[in-house]
Amino acid sequence: MARTGGKKESGGTRLGDFRKQPGEPKPVYVLRGTDPYLMDQARRAIRQLVLGDADPGMAILELNGADAALADVLDALRTPAFLAPRRLVILREAEKFFGQRAEADDGDEAEEKTAGGGSHQRDALLRYLEKPSPTGCLVLEVAAWNESTNLAKGIAKAGKLVLCEITDPAIMPGWLQREARKTFGKTLTVAATQMLLEYLGMDVAGLLAAVDMLALYTGAEKTIDAPDVDALVTRGHHERVWALCDAVAERRIPRALELLDAFLTEGMVAAQIVGILRPTFRQLLRVKALTRRMSVDAAMEKAGVTYFARDRVRRAAAAFSAAHLANAYQTLVEADLDAKSGTDERTALETMIHRLCLPETARTAARGVAD
């Protein structure tokens, strides 16, 4: 489902483009990505291209890179398939086969960093690609791919790099709404789409699973709306956490206590409540700290804020001072310890809310008690 279009990125071909125009079968393909759904779509496209309607049971060999032996891979590629035009050899986690880390290194230095005979395997594969078997097709699945290595350059000449990743997050809302209509016969509202994307990010498999659940949940209803997502997927937590952030930033204690009551009414205990608040405040604190030396957008990128949550994070970070966020996060750390120490939960949580909303007063009072 990667964005379609004519241009290439990073020397590779976008998945959408590849599925539209796969061309003639190549002796080797590299599938780069981490999303299970997109990797599966690429795998299916190659299987159809290479095997057509032949029975895949006798023509596909799948190996894990950590366990695969070079001799087994090359033997399989050179052995004609039974009742199929080609044999397809899929090597998952191929970085491990070549003794490379998933994180790409730079240039020729990457070829020197080997483990378990990685250099020998790369050299052998390069020699094989000089005269590949006409009945074999090798698929290398990787999380990252350094295109400056000799291996990558050799594969670029003989085969194709397919980018199984989302190259433009802006296409996600429209794609998810189309998928809901096409696959599940449901209209996904703008609000529901935004909530799903904020909560799940660009996890394609997770998004489709969520829409599947929502389609069952809504039954005969033709529309999936934000309250449905809130009830089934985020269970009210996502919006409530951000509402609590707003209340803390605006120092509205009654509103924050009201939201705390909503968590408690659901049966959540102190450790769970603190546990869902800490990641959000930690991320806000990190963004705020990074903005001292870079733009807000660059800070959110570095802090790992998902594309669809950035407007909300930008507003929240602007509403807090750096000191308020630092105190708030420390309050949550201490509240987590209190929750595990056997302190009365209700009292501990209400104290936490007061300290979150009025950190300066709380800290002054604490110092006064200590003195």
> Does residue 308 contact residue 233 with C-beta atoms inside 8 Å?
no
SS3 160: strand
| Cβ neighbours for 296, distance < 8 A, ≥ 6 positions apart | 287, 314, 317
Q: 51 is written with which tokens?
A: 């095997």
Domain limits, CATH 1.20.272.10, in the chain: 237-362
Per-residue confidence (pLDDT) for residue 1, from 0 to 100 = 54
Residue 233's pLDDT band, with cuts at 50, 70 and 90, is confident
d(CA 110, CA 116): 14
Instruction: Give the pLDDT score at 361.
Output: 57
116 pLDDT higher than 80: no
Question: Is the torsion defined by CA of 194, 196, 199, 205 positive or negative?
Answer: negative
Chain mean pLDDT for the chain:
84
**Which residues in 217-257 belong to E strands, given as ranges?**
223-224
User: Beta-strand (E) ranges in the chain?
Assistant: 13-14, 28-32, 60-64, 87-92, 136-142, 160-163, 187-188, 223-224
Residue 103 has pLDDT above 60, yes or no: no
CB atoms within 10 A of CB 127: 11
Closest CA to 226 of 259, 196, 258: 196
Does domain 13-163 bear CATH number 3.40.630.30?
A: no
So what's the pLDDT on residue 359? 73
Helical residues (DSSP H) of 141-188, grouped into ranges: 150-158, 172-184
Q: Is pLDDT at 2 greater than 90 in this prediction?
A: no
Q: Which one has a higher pLDDT value, 101 or 321?
A: 321
Q: What does the pLDDT look like over 315-331, one tens digit per residue?
A: 999 999 999 999 988 89
Residue pair 303/283 in contact by the 8 Å Cβ criterion: yes
CATH 1.10.8.60 occupies which residues in the chain? 169-232
* pLDDT, tens digit, 9 for 90 and up, residues 298-320: 999 888 888 888 888 999 999 99
- Cβ neighbors of 75 (< 8 A, separation 6 or more) are none
Question: Distance between CA atoms of 368 and 371, rounded to whole angstroms?
Answer: 5
At 153, is the pLDDT very low, low, confident or very high (cuts 50, 70, 90)? Answer: very high
User: Which of 206, 205, 246 shows the shortest CA–CA distance to 229?
Assistant: 206
How far is the C-alpha of 359 from the C-alpha of 324, rounded, in Å? Answer: 7
Give pLDDT, residue 154.
92
| Percentage, residues of the chain above pLDDT 90 | 49
Rounded to two decimals, what is the model's pTM? 0.63
- pLDDT tens-place string over residues 246-271: 999 999 999 999 999 988 888 888 88
Tokens encoding 272: 């769970």
Q: Where residue 37 falls among pLDDT bands split at 50, 70, 90? A: confident
Start-end of CATH 3.40.50.300 domains in the chain:
13-163
161: helix, strand or coil: strand
Contact 312, 273 (CB under 8 A): no
Q: From residue 297, how far is each of 275, 320, 327 by CA, in Å? A: 26, 17, 24
Architecture of domain 169-232: Orthogonal Bundle (1.10)
Instruction: Between 233 and 185, name the one with better pLDDT.
Output: 185
CA dihedral 21, 25, 26, 32 (to 10 degrees): 50
Alpha-helix runs per DSSP H in the chain? 15-20, 36-51, 70-78, 94-97, 109-112, 118-130, 150-158, 172-184, 190-200, 204-218, 226-232, 237-249, 253-265, 270-290, 296-303, 310-319, 322-339, 345-357, 359-370
Residue 165 confidence (pLDDT)? 87
The domain made up of 237-362 has a fold known as Zinc Finger, Delta Prime; domain 3 (1.20.272)
Most distant CA atoms of the chain, gap in Å: 85
Q: Tell me the β-bridge partners of 136.
A: 87
**What pLDDT was estimated at residue 360?**
60
Q: For 189-219, what is each residue's pLDDT tens digit?
A: 999 999 898 888 888 888 888 899 899 889 9
Please write the tens of the pLDDT for every residue from 46-78: 999 999 988 888 899 999 998 899 999 999 999
Q: Which residues pair with 269 in a beta bridge?
A: none
